[in-house]
């Protein structure tokens, strides 16, 4: 596996691969990889001639009081996982390589989409996501890019950005990967102590209960959210940021649980903010 730290290295390697007629898949990550990321690399390996993963903790998507400095990092461990899953190149740039001094250009969706769900408490987050992902698309010029459903709002926003800006990349959505007890895989799970780790299961319990109710025919979003909220509120260490049902494309509130509706949550377990979700009718 090639480890590249500069934009020029990536561009030269991709140009060589494309001259050989190979398709290129991109898996954007912030590092500290787990089996969820590995599943994205596996899907990219299945669909593409060559696979690139980015490993970059993007500062522009963190607010002033968020966990940028504390965000876990272990590049050697990341490389071992990526190589084991057949990644061909890892792009691990410095902040200075990705953002020029006094950089002042951002990519932002100017409607209600990024203001919903996580955007209510993280107002600059999706501007940072769109900016760094658009930069990665410009650098790599991938044929396909792979994102996980766990970050469902991010996935919807990136799809919208790709459509609006006519990027020549196909977005591939991949299912949530869970621990054996149901907790969604997340780099932030490492912040949890043993008691908090057990408490965090209230998220997946609420998701599974909501999913089962929807599959059994529940169509009233308010009733479903009440069921799920009750499960989370029964856990003393949990503090709800939101539990919401929204249109899976616009992120606007949904009253009826039709196919494609996203039921999503963000919950603090102690100081750690975790997210989970399901899509009525399954991932599209």
Task: State the CB neighbour count (10 A cutoff) for residue 189.
Answer: 18
Q: Is the Cβ–Cβ distance between 24 and 142 less than 8 Å?
A: yes
Let me know if 34 is a catalytic residue: no
Cα(106)–Cα(129) distance, rounded to whole angstroms? Answer: 10
Q: Say which of 37, 85, 92, 125 is annotated catalytic.
A: 37
Burial of 66 (0-12, 13-18, 19+ CB in 10 A): middle
Task: State the CB neighbour count (10 A cutoff) for residue 159.
Answer: 14
Q: What is the DSSP letter of 123?
A: T
Closest to 202 measured CA to CA, from 279, 116, 268: 268
Cα(273)–Cα(269) distance, rounded to whole angstroms? Answer: 6
**Residues belonging to the active site:** 37
């Amino acid at each position: 596996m090639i480890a590249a730290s500069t934009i020029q290295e990536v561009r030269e390697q991709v140009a060589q691969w494309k001259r050989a007629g190979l398709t290129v898949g991109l898996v954007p990550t912030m590092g500290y990889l787990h089996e969820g990321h590995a599943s994205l690399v596996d899907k990219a390996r299945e669909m593409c001639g060559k696979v690139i993963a980015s490993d970059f903790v993007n500062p522009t998507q963190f607010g002033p009081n968020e966990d940028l400095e504390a965000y876990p990092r272990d590049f050697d461990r990341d490389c071992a996982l990526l190589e084991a899953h057949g990644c061909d190149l890892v792009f691990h740039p410095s902040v200075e390589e990705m953002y020029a001094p006094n950089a002042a250009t951002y990519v932002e969706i100017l409607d209600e989409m990024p203001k919903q769900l996580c955007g209510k408490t993280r107002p600059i987050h999706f501007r940072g996501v769109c900016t760094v992902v658009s930069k990665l698309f410009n650098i790599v010029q991938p044929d396909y890019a792979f994102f996980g459903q766990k970050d469902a709002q991010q996935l919807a926003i990136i799809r919208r950005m790709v459509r609006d800006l006519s990027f020549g990349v196909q977005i591939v959505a991949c299912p949530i990967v869970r621990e054996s007890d149901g907790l969604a895989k997340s780099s932030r799970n490492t912040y949890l102590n043993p008691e908090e780790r057990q408490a965090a299961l209230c998220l997946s319990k609420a998701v599974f209960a909501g999913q089962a109710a929807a599959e059994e025919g529940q169509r009233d979003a308010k009733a479903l959210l009440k069921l799920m909220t009750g499960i989370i509120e029964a856990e003393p260490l949990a503090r709800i940021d939101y539990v919401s049902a929204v249109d899976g494309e616009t992120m606007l509130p949904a009253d009826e649980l039709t196919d494609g509706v996203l039921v999503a949550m963000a919950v603090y377990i102690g100081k750690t903010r975790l997210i989970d979700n399901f899509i009525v009718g399954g991932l599209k």
